[in-house]
Structure 1
Amino acid sequence: MRLLTRATLFAAALFGLGAPALAAPADCQPGGACAHPLPVKVVIVTMFEIGKDSGDMPGEFQIWKERRHLDTRIPFPQSYHDLYYNPETQTLGMVTGMGSIRSATATLALGLDQRFDLSRAYWLVAGIAGVDPAKASIGSAAWAHYLVDGDLAHEIDAREIPKDWTSGYFALHSKGPNDTSPPVGQGEVFEINAGLRDWAFALTKDIALPDEAGLKAARARFTGYPAGQRPPFVLKGDNLAAMTFWHGKLLTGWAEDWVTYWTHGQGEFVTSAMEETGTYQSITYLDTIGRVDKRRFMVLRAGSNYTMPPPGVDAATYLLRENEGYAGMHAALENLYTVGSKVVDELTAHWDRYGKTVPE
């Protein structure tokens, strides 16, 4: 299998390489009123695709499109990527684009689109992530409760950090990195429905995820990190979203502290990504006008790479090596689908129950 390079991923995600030609328009026009909107039971939220939407090397969206038969294409010109729909299961798939700006605007654009009835829809964010080897291994899939933003902050250059400071990066409106009392938040942390998260975890925690030779070799190097050496598994763990692709033992320590800080010790950093806080911010806005139900929002991230190098390897060397291809990319994409599909199948097969009542 050819490894995905980060350069390929970013070029495809940022510039829309391989976008297919537009299909026939939906019954109602984008941006207009719609007397008979399409009912949606589940929205699959992915962040990038690499080339074509089917038939080549998959990104986050392709496996869902092909295996969930999301074959009805719906033009979505007010956002990054067209939508795909399965009228039988009433499942809608979207690609937001990478980064919190694109994920927020794409989610808001969809939520305000009158062509869709999203009032009872469940939202499943399914994406790859960096994973903290102290908590999990590549290929593992984590259900989140807390979504923490890593961008809203003060920062000074590391070369100018006072000797008694633990970091040059600290919370807005705080007195510095040694101030242990978080100020009033301005979007730094979101708490999504813990009951729904726990229900999804209970439904999927015993799924046996396949192992691969490449995964075994990559994780064997993480001596001293028992969780990082385990075969892929399903767990509960929180997400840190930041637009900078950071890496290293020191920054992993910062991420652990940052999540602990903003969740008052209730959260635990497991996965790093870019989009969640932007996506959920839009969900909260849409919830206030009844377009969506924020209680029906879930985040599942699977580890494609570790957030730090193994012992004995410097951060720069390991990061540049990972640029040549994430060791856990293939497993992460497959396991996102395996774990997430279990939840989607349960919701759509028993819609008479879950359409009315959110499971907990």
Structure 2
Amino acid sequence: MVSLKRVLAGLTVLPTVLAHPPPFADGRGHKIAPKVFIISMFAPEGEAWWGIPEFDILAHNITVPGLSPLFPHVHCTADHAVCQLITGESEINAAVTMTSLVFSDLFDLRSTYFFAAGIAGISPLQGTTGSAAFARYAIQVALQYEFDAREIPQNFSTGYVLQGALAPGQYPLSIYGTEVFELNQDLRSHAVAFAKKAKLADSTTAQEYRAHYKQNGTHEQYKIAALPPSILECDVATSDVYYSGNLLSQAFDNTTRILTNGTGTYCTTAQEDNASLEALLRAALHGRVDFARIVIMRTASDFDRPYPGESPTYHLLQAEQGGFEIAVENIYRAGIHVVQGILDGWKETFDHGVKPSNYIGDIFGTLNGKPNFGPGRAQSLEESGALLTKRSRAELSKRRPLRL
């Protein structure tokens, strides 16, 4: 989540690279089998990996049907060990792009590590701008009923009510399946250890802005927001809505706790991750990717709520928070250690995979295992409509308002 000035500044279209791949994309009769696939979401995130000293990600540019019209190519190093694509912003773009990639016959992605590396908003309760946060959970927080706050009952703390529930704070009774994804915590530990080798970028502008979150030492809850950037382990919320303010941020913090049964920590807010993960999960179900080989890193470009005394509208629309530039820079500074760590440890560790000690997957248990969130597989499937009976249809009709 960035200021609108920064969003508009970032909407530059990448240069079009004319590419006509041979029948097999590596030119030798083999599918491309990257060791690491970097997922970027928009132009500045993608360009963070261009022109770096470690490798040339633009050595190959491969047209893949179904990718964004703005970003129609997969970029790869000369040996195809590292590849990158840009999904385009928002859940729809991410879902279509990632689905097109994982079901493309140009690639063999069964042993590939997917590294989603982008910018995000951050809660000042958990971190500060420039920080790099690695997620275990991705939560689709906007999958809710929404009432204008001016029209909610007096006993409602927010206008957001989870689907099928009757009031804020209740668990959803209508399950879509994309509400929560849990990733490999053991792989995350490796990625965090690699990233901690980085010297993160910072700026005077960012330092001056974040100092407001601890004015005269009176706002102890925000003390971490005034610190320099760091490497964090906390979770990402997915929403196509750019929101700002204490009330909305608190509401989605609560949503995170509810949907993860109290085990998730709301930290960053972005637009694409649940969409990308759903595409990867469906591909994993068909043996095309390994869902245990996914890392999500979000670098903080701005805060999700204003400092005490600042208005939410000014905070989002006008304030110069100074976080955008350092967040983009830290995608590379932290991320390159993750990429290089996987490559350098390929034979010893990563070729065989990092076995997760925790559950991985969605709320349905689609990839087997028992989620430590949600009401359980059977109930989730029934509430999603996958196991419809006459009785469950009648129950669902009571829970859901009909849309004609």
Whether the TM-score (by the shorter chain) exceeds 0.5 is yes
Q: Is 1:134 equivalent to 2:130 in the alignment?
A: no
Q: Offset of 1:203 from its aligned partner?
A: 2.7
Which deviations, in whole Å up to 9, do the C-alpha atoms of 1:75-120 show, x marking residues without a partner? 1342111111103361111000000111111111000111111110
| 8 Å contact from structure 1 (residues 206, 234) kept in 2 | no
Q: Pick closer, same or farther for the CA change 1:295–1:222 going to 2, 3 Å.
A: same
1:270 maps to which residue? 267
Q: Pick closer, same or farther for the CA change 1:326–1:91 going to 2, 3 Å.
A: farther
Q: Pick closer, same or farther for the CA change 1:276–1:294 going to 2, 3 Å.
A: same
Taking the aligned partners of 2:237 and 2:149, their CA distance within structure 1 comes to 21
1:70 paired residue among 57, 72, 78: 57
Q: Is 1:39 equivalent to 2:36 in the alignment?
A: no
> What letter corresponds to residue 145 of structure 2 in structure 1?
H
Q: Offset of 1:11 from its aligned partner?
A: 7.6
2:279 maps to which residue? 282
Secondary structure of the corresponding residue to residue 292 of structure 2: helix
Which deviations, in whole Å up to 9, do the C-alpha atoms of 1:27-84 show, x marking residues without a partner? 2279xxx9521121111000001xxxxxxxxx10112132131121111342111111
Unaligned runs of 5+ in 2: 357-404
Q: Offset of 1:259 from its aligned partner?
A: 0.8
Q: Is 1:336 equivalent to 2:331 in the alignment?
A: yes
Q: Pick closer, same or farther for the CA change 1:18–1:147 going to 2, 3 Å.
A: closer
Which deviations, in whole Å up to 9, do the C-alpha atoms of 1:123-170 show, x marking residues without a partner? 011101001011100000100001000221112221221111111111
Superposition map of 1:200-349 within 5 A: 200-205=191-196, 207-223=198-214, 224=219, 225-322=222-319, 327-349=322-344
2:161 maps to which residue? 170
Q: Pick closer, same or farther for the CA change 1:105–1:214 going to 2, 3 Å.
A: same
Q: Offset of 1:5 from its aligned partner?
A: 6.7
Q: Pick closer, same or farther for the CA change 1:23–1:340 going to 2, 3 Å.
A: same
Q: Pick closer, same or farther for the CA change 1:89–1:341 going to 2, 3 Å.
A: farther
| 8 Å contact from structure 1 (residues 207, 234) kept in 2 | no
Matched length? 339
- For the pair shown, the structure with the greater C-alpha radius of gyration is 2
Q: Pick closer, same or farther for the CA change 1:301–1:96 going to 2, 3 Å.
A: same
Q: Offset of 1:182 from its aligned partner?
A: 4.4
2:45 maps to which residue? 60
Structure-1-length-normalised TM-score: 0.89
Secondary structure of the corresponding residue to residue 301 of structure 2: strand
1:147 maps to which residue? 138
Q: Pick closer, same or farther for the CA change 1:194–1:172 going to 2, 3 Å.
A: same
Secondary structure of the corresponding residue to residue 303 of structure 1: strand
Identity %: 28
Taking the aligned partners of 2:315 and 2:66, their CA distance within structure 1 comes to 39
Tell me how large the CA RMSD over aligned residues is: 2.1
| 8 Å contact from structure 1 (residues 142, 271) kept in 2 | yes
Taking the aligned partners of 2:250 and 2:326, their CA distance within structure 1 comes to 25
Taking the aligned partners of 2:10 and 2:207, their CA distance within structure 1 comes to 29
| 8 Å contact from structure 2 (residues 158, 247) kept in 1 | no
2:7 maps to which residue? 9
| 8 Å contact from structure 2 (residues 48, 331) kept in 1 | no
> What letter corresponds to residue 220 of structure 1 in structure 2?
A
Secondary structure of the corresponding residue to residue 102 of structure 1: helix
2:22 maps to which residue? 27
| 8 Å contact from structure 1 (residues 65, 93) kept in 2 | no
| 8 Å contact from structure 1 (residues 46, 96) kept in 2 | yes
1:110 maps to which residue? 101
Taking the aligned partners of 1:10 and 1:189, their CA distance within structure 2 comes to 30
Q: Is 1:120 equivalent to 2:120 in the alignment?
A: no
Which deviations, in whole Å up to 9, do the C-alpha atoms of 1:10-38 show, x marking residues without a partner? 5864xxx44434423112279xxx95211
1:193 maps to which residue? 184
Taking the aligned partners of 2:39 and 2:229, their CA distance within structure 1 comes to 22
Secondary structure of the corresponding residue to residue 66 of structure 1: coil
Taking the aligned partners of 1:318 and 1:8, their CA distance within structure 2 comes to 13
Taking the aligned partners of 2:129 and 2:255, their CA distance within structure 1 comes to 22
| 8 Å contact from structure 2 (residues 112, 289) kept in 1 | yes
Taking the aligned partners of 1:104 and 1:350, their CA distance within structure 2 comes to 30
Secondary structure of the corresponding residue to residue 266 of structure 1: coil
2:347 maps to which residue? 352
Which deviations, in whole Å up to 9, do the C-alpha atoms of 1:294-335 show, x marking residues without a partner? 10011000110111111111111221214xx65111111111
Q: Pick closer, same or farther for the CA change 1:79–1:7 going to 2, 3 Å.
A: farther
Taking the aligned partners of 2:24 and 2:18, their CA distance within structure 1 comes to 13
